[in-house]
Amino acid sequence: MAVEETEKKKESKEDQEEIELHRNDLGLEHSSSSGVLGITVMMDSDADNSSTYYSTCSSCSPDHESSSSSSLSLSSPFSNTQNKNVPSSYHQSAYHGGLQWNKMIESIKKKSIRRFTVLPLLASYELTRKNLRRKQPKFPFPPSENGFLCERYFMPKPSWRNFTYEELAAATDDFNPENMIGKGGHAEVYKGVLPDGETVAIKKLMSHAKEEEERVSDFLSELGIIAHVNHPNAARLRGFSSDRGLHFVLEYAPHGSLAAKLFGSEECLEWKIRYKVALGIADGLSYLHHVCPRRIIHRDIKASNILLSRDYDAQISDFGLAKWLPENWPHHVVFPIEGTFGYMAPEYFIHGIVDEKIDVFAFGVLLLEIITSRRAVDTASRQSIVAWAKPFLEKNSVEDIVDPRLGNEFDPTEMKRVMLTASMCIHHIATMRPDMNRVVQLLRGEDGTGEIQKKPGQGGAVIVNACDLQDHTSSSYLNELIRHRQLLME
User: Which residues in this chain contact ligand ATP in the complex, by CB under 6 A?
Assistant: 181-182, 184-187, 189, 201, 203, 235, 250, 252-253, 256-257, 260, 304-305, 307, 317-318, 320
Nearest to 415 by CA among 401, 425, 427: 401
Return d(Cα 460, Cα 454) in angstroms, integer: 7
Largest CA distance in the chain: 83
Q: Is 294 in contact with 325 (CB distance < 8 Å)?
A: yes
Return d(Cα 344, Cα 413) in angstroms, integer: 28
Return the SS3 of 218. Answer: helix
Q: What is the per-residue burial (b if ≥16 Cβ within 10 Å, else e) of 262-291? A: beeeeebbebebbbbbbbbbbbbbbbbbeb
Burial level of 352, CB count in 10 A (0-12/13-18/19+)?
Answer: middle
Burial level of 311, CB count in 10 A (0-12/13-18/19+)?
Answer: exposed
Q: Is 390 in contact with 309 (CB distance < 8 Å)?
A: no
Helix and strand totals (H; E) in the chain: 16, 16
Nearest to 21 by CA among 401, 344, 294: 294
Q: How far is CA 454 from CA 91, 267, 416, 430, 464, in A?
A: 68, 34, 12, 26, 9
Choosing from 25, 218, 300, 313, the catalytic residue is: 300
Contacts of 1 (CB under 8 A, 6+ apart): none
Q: What is the per-residue burial (b if ≥16 Cβ within 10 Å, else e) of 230-239? A: bbebbbbbbb
Q: How far is CA 473 from CA 361, 392, 423, 455, in A?
A: 16, 12, 12, 21
Q: Which is nearer to ligand ATP, 54 or 190 (CB)?
A: 190
Q: How far is CA 29 from CA 12, 81, 109, 241, 267, in A?
A: 19, 17, 10, 19, 50
CA Rg value for the chain: 24
Q: How far is the CB of 190 from ligand ATP (least distance, A)?
A: 9
Q: Is 250 in contact with 227 (CB distance < 8 Å)?
A: no
φ, ψ for residue 115, nearest 5 deg: -60, -35
Return the SS3 of 116. Answer: helix
The shares of helix, strand and coil residues in the chain, as percent rounded to the nearest 5, are 45, 15, 45
| 300 is known as an active-site residue | yes
Nearest to 120 by CA among 18, 221, 27: 18
84 annotated as ligand-binding = no
Q: How far is the CB of 239 from ligand ATP (least distance, A)?
A: 13
Annotated binding site for ATP: 204
* Enzyme catalytic residues: 300
